[in-house]
Amino acid sequence: MMPLALAFVGDAVYELYIRSRILSDGNLTAGTLHKMAVKYVCAHSQAYAAEMLKDKLSEEETYIFKRGRNAWSPSVPKNCNVTEYRQATGLETLIGYLHLTGQKDRADQIMAFCVEQIDRKEEENEQEKRV
């Protein structure tokens, strides 16, 4: 399957994972839920999580990630740079691949790791602001 097709599926799987996870935070408005989700699904955050994930991937997973990262895309969103967008696409490609090949437990492990990394980075940023 083409890498960008895998990324298309991976984007949806990751988004659903994030939305399901933030619902456990309580009864919040749709606007608040959206703001919370964006923190995890934006290319900037995904690229950061992908960088932290690199050393934890198998050889096969690294190959799939790189196929997605290196796939040509006709456009890049305004709110990120090309490098971030490609890293995020690589992550989404990997998640899509794992999902479609029935490796849902591994996909969940990777997505949970990404959330942990994004949360940790946000906590560090908040601490720096206080200092």
40 neighbors 50 (Cβ within 8 angstroms)? no
Q: Residue 106's CB: how many other CB atoms inside 10 A?
A: 18
105 carries an active-site annotation: no
Catalytic residue among 11, 55, 105, 108: 11
11 Cβ neighbours under 8 A, 6+ residues apart: 92, 96
What is the set of active-site residues? Answer: 11
